[in-house]
Structure 1
Amino acid sequence: MHTAFNIASSRKTAAALAVAGLSLALGTEANAAPAGEFARGRILIEARAGLSDAELDTLVKAHGGKRRKLGQSRMHVVDLPPGLSEEEAVEKLSRRPELKFAELDRKVTVAMAVNDPYIGSAWHLGKIGAPAAWDSTQGSGVTIAVLDSGVNGAHPDLKDRMVPGFNVYNNTTDTSDLCGHGTAVAGTSAATMNNALGVAGVAGAARIMPIRVAFKDASGSCPAYLSTIANGITWAADHGARIANVSFAGIAGSSAVKSAARYMKNKGGLVFISAGNNNVDENVVPDTAFIIVSSTDSYDRKSSFSSWGSFVSLAAPGSGIWTTNSSLGYSSKSGTSFASPVTAGVAGLVMAARPDLNADQVESLLFKTSVDLGVAGRDPVFGYGRVDAAAAVGAARAYVQAADTIAPLAAIAAPLGSSTVSGSVPVSVNSSDNVGVARVELKVNGTVVATDSAAPYSFSWNSTGVANGMASLVAVAYDAAGNMGTSATVPVNVANSTSTIATVSDTVAPVVTINNPVAGAVSGTVAISVSATDNAGAAGIRTSLAIDGKVVANGQGGSLSYSWNTRKAAAGTHTVAVTARDAAGNAGSRSVSVTVR
């Protein structure tokens, strides 16, 4: 395999040089939209676990807003009425305890620096040890989502790699490339290898899922919004992608993008983001939600254009990368836009070599096997080092899963024990684990009312779902191995206002809402969230949750949560159904059909 590929690779490089030398034009693009440029008439928010759709509607309607849910996540785009200040809405909503965040929907641009017809060949593949890695894996079975300007799926080096994608910006299936950037990024990660054509991607047997998050503006460039990027990551995670590449600058500090990346990571995937091309310290706080990639040249030096900072996780070749272009030919591209998909391709090789590894394990192997450059250890320019495909794949194949028998730790930080609460109560939980916390459940009087799978673990508990008096709060944390850690019980005094109502025969059934999932595709672990209301109050409600007719959870009160591991379910359509009964025996129900991928 190794020798045969080298022969084909040399033919592909020669073809690329010939085509690019004839057709490439020099050009530059900015790295970030002008400061303060954001979408008018909408903002982004994320609800805390446990907040019902009805409660969230009430909250956003107070600002004249109307929400749109992003996939199966808890994030929402809030459309605002004309004349309302987006900055003012964000400022007010950011202070609401029911929300994790509120932010402006900022405009961002691709992280491409220059096109140069005279720079190199496919030097980056040898530099990262890709040919040696290809002896054991080429990325087969892994889907890489390319969140960009679209992808030209007719390209001869891409057409065999394509799977259906989505146009987030227009809400259609048209994923054709508006500006050419996405086609170049896709080829960097996964152009078909060993076919005697043009170039080879790092993971040339992986699948490419095109997700258009950008639009073409009057200048001819293709910016995107934080909302389309967050939506695209969520869509990719829900539709089976294990890797998402986002070659846009200025997004690493976005709460929405972080939340979407955590959502994908909890489903076993990884999100790769370019550091930017401003040649400055971007001064962004590091986060474990995604992997930020800076750019190197053929001498393992920082590319002249590459940004840096403490948020950088890894470095990869990004100067003079031969790749596919939207004119069905090949071009040399430079920018952290291309360093990021190089690294995403290496992750694809690791995942293909060891499909059993989770996202944290794959990430750790990428970090540990990288070539340390610059200051010893992690540094702001190269992160943990320049990615090494051969070493990462070798380490993955040799990796032995150690039995994890250590349970996570969990402690309720707020509210304090014996405090008096009413209405919507913000609950904060501190949790840690030797490997990683998979999720945290909040139990009230023994019923799981909400589940959060991303730190910081926080909930919004509707205390009207229990009778006035003392209630017991308990947090339960789980790791990926199934170990469970339980917090100390926190007693609270529920004191909601009551009204005297004449005793009459109750014939009104509870109203049931399935907050999550919504109809559509699901994958990995799905957080099922249910709420119910009743004319006699939620405290007397008993709820039952069934999947395909089999009861999987019961509870008391107005909220019920359940973590459904769809990996144990057959692919295809499944029905999630909920029944709620009040104290008088009246029953209300609701169901939703989802497709497990």
Structure 2
Amino acid sequence: MTLSRTMRALGATTLAAGLFLTTAPVASADYVRDGQWPNQEFDLNKVWSVSKGDGVIVAVIDSGVDPSHPDLSGQLLPGYDPSGQGRDTHPTDSHGTAMAGLIAAHGHGNGDGAVGLAPGAKILPIYKSTAQDTDYVPEDIKWAVDHKAKVINLSLGSPIRNPKMADAVAYAAKNDVLVVVAAGNEGGPVASPADEPGVLTVGAVDKNNTIWSMSDYGPEVLLSAPGVRIVSTGPCNSNQYCIGDGTSDATAYVSGAAALIRAKFPNLTAGQVANRLVKSAYVPSSLQGAKLPDPHYGYGIIRPYEALTQDIPDGPAQGPLAKPVAAGDVGGGGQAPGASAPATVGPGSAGQPQTVGSSSHSKGTLVLAAAGVGIVLLVVVIAVIVAVSRRRKSAQGQFVQPPYGGQPYGAQQQYGTPPAWPQQAQPPYPNQPQPPYGNQAPPPGYPPQNNPYGQGGNQQR
């Protein structure tokens, strides 16, 4: 699994100068806080007057989260690293810390630092891979569910589908846990696990509510959220904050919004939480009158305050989420809300569900089997009669046995050299490292992203 975000260092000196040039008061607020434009769009004071996500556990399956960051102090619960090396709290890069910050950072000091959408929530940090850097995300999902997470943030993706992912998503659904997934940053169709039935897939928009050109798309996309020029926690070039683009950021914002709703409406199912987000979303003017969900925007752009306050019927338990399709036993003998029970898998089925027959099918199979046995017996009787007849004719000199090696039934038909079958390309090994979404070169003609904060400056805050 690769991480879908492009991050750059947030230079404190350059940013402060940029704000000064736009006549922002020098002492009005911390430069990082001012740089978090989505929070201003969300109007956090209004949002937090209704909910801060108190008591909700959000699992962040990523590159690990730094517990020493001042804006995340006290926000992390004991996490999990499948390799046993403690990388859940000793991150390999800044990506996971940034996602945790967008969800639940609380800032520090007197209005300094970054804040997340749901600062009352707790983060369950989970490292995404084993010691060999092999994909462990499905097992991580189940671990998060078993440790009381109510929302799981997956700001990652891969072109290779993990065959265990279906079971993991079904297990989360069975236990009423909402799985939020990044669409991806390739500018093409969504990859895995964004294409997994049962997850809430998220695209990215910029400050003008325009879809980001590199945001992946498809019928799986249900929502969009801010994902361009996003400031968050995480060390970049020894700085404590980064600025980045990607559907990773958008996904973290949706996870934070889901935490707000789960705190305000604890009796809603995961699907009903998704329903409130969908029904309250902002639909850009370009989509007015269009059929939704749009493959890029989904049902629209999240509006946390409206999701918390609008009069929205609960709706069915499944909500807008597709029914999970488990490849096998998801544990506990249960099933996803509103979904049919998963089919069992037989030996050698390569993880594909088998069709489960009804009793009438079974009776039909028995009848056919009995008929087959009768035909075989009839053939055997005829063969015995013919053999006896031939022996009698041979004794009377009327039957000539062909010489050994002959072909009494005519010459064997020759088909010539079999045609050469086309060689199929060998798919990459499932655990082969893939290039991260964020490191892809932009397509030709894509306008460069100007960084008003600059690239330099490593001043610590």
Q: Where does residue 205 of structure 1 map in the other structure?
A: 120
Matched, 1:315 2:224: yes
Structure 2 stretches lacking a partner, 5+ long: 19-33, 327-331, 347-355, 367-461
Corresponding residue for residue 371 of structure 1: 282
Query: Matches of 1:122 and 1:163 in 2, distance apart?
Result: 25
Q: 1:319 and 1:174 mapped to 2: Cα distance?
A: 26
Residue 356 of structure 1 is matched in structure 2 by 267
RMSD after superposition: 3.7
Which amino acid is 1:250 matched to? S
Match of 2:167 among 252, 259, 276: 259
Residue in 1 aligned with 2:176? 268
Given that 1:318 and 1:335 are in contact with CA atoms closer than 8 Å, whether structure 2 keeps it comes out as yes
- Shift in Å, 1:215: 6.6
1:188 aligns with 2:72: no
The answer to whether the 8 A contact 1:237-1:267 is kept is yes
- Higher normalized contact order (CA 8 Å, seq sep 6+, divided by chain length): 2
Give the counterpart of 2:2 among 71, 94, 109.
109
Are the equivalent residues in 1 in contact too, given 2:223–2:298 (CA < 8 A)?
A: yes
Alignment match, 1:340: 251
Partner SS for 1:244: strand
CA distance in 2, matches of 1:141, 1:115: 32
TM-score (norm 1): 0.48
Deviation of 1:267 (Å): 1.1
**1:296 matched to 2:205:** yes
Asked whether the 8 Å contact 2:70–2:108 carries over to 1, the reply is no
1:380 is paired with a residue of what secondary structure? coil
| 1:138 aligned onto 2:52 | yes
Could you tell me how far apart the structure 1 residues matched to 2:72 and 2:257 are? Answer: 18
In the alignment, what sits opposite 2:378?
A: none
The answer as to whether partners of 1:145 and 1:243 remain within 8 angstroms in 2 is yes
Contact 2:88 2:125 in 1 (8 A): no
1:222-246 deviations in Å (ceiling 9; x for gaps): xx544x1111111000000001111
Higher-Rg structure is 2
Tell me, in whole angstroms, the C-alpha distance in 2 between the residues paired with 1:265 and 1:359.
8
- What is the CA distance between 1:309 and its match in structure 2? 1.9
Counterparts in 2 of 1:439-458, with a 5 A limit?
451-454=333-336, 455=339, 457-458=341-342
Query: TM (normalized to structure 2)?
Result: 0.61
Share of identical aligned residues, percent?
28
Residues of 2 paired with 1:434 and 1:116: CA distance? Answer: 37
Matched, 1:165 2:79: yes
Would the alpha carbon gap of residues 266 and 173 (structure 1) be closer, same or farther in structure 2, given more than 3 Å must change?
Answer: same
Letter in 2 for 1:175: T
1:228-247 matches, within 5 Å, as 228-247=136-155
Q: 1:489 to 1:244 in 2, by over 3 A?
A: same
- On the 8 A contact 1:293/1:340 being kept in 2, the answer is yes
Aligned length: 320
Bigger CA drift: 129-138 or 290-299?
Answer: 129-138
Distance 1:334 1:162, change over 3 A: same
Residues 390 and 255 of structure 1: is their aligned pair in 2 closer, same or farther, counting only changes over 3 Å? farther
Shift of the 303–456 alpha-carbon distance from structure 1 to 2, 3 Å rule, reads same
Q: How far did 1:247 drift?
A: 1.0
Deviations 1:43-70 (A, max 9, x none): xxxxxxxxxxxxxxxxxxxxxxxxxxxx
Using the alignment, how far apart are the partners of 1:252 and 1:311 within structure 2? Answer: 17
Higher strand proportion (structure 1 or 2): 1
Question: How far has the Cα of 1:216 moved from its partner?
Answer: 8.7
For 1:283 and 1:233, the matched residues in 2 are separated by 18
Residue by residue over 1:120-172, the C-alpha shift from the partner in whole angstroms, topping out at 9 and shown as x without a partner, is 71111122344321111001010111101101011111121111110024475
Q: Confirm or deny: 8 A CA contact 1:129 1:388 kept in the other structure.
A: no
Distance change in 2, residues 1:400/1:280 (3 Å): closer
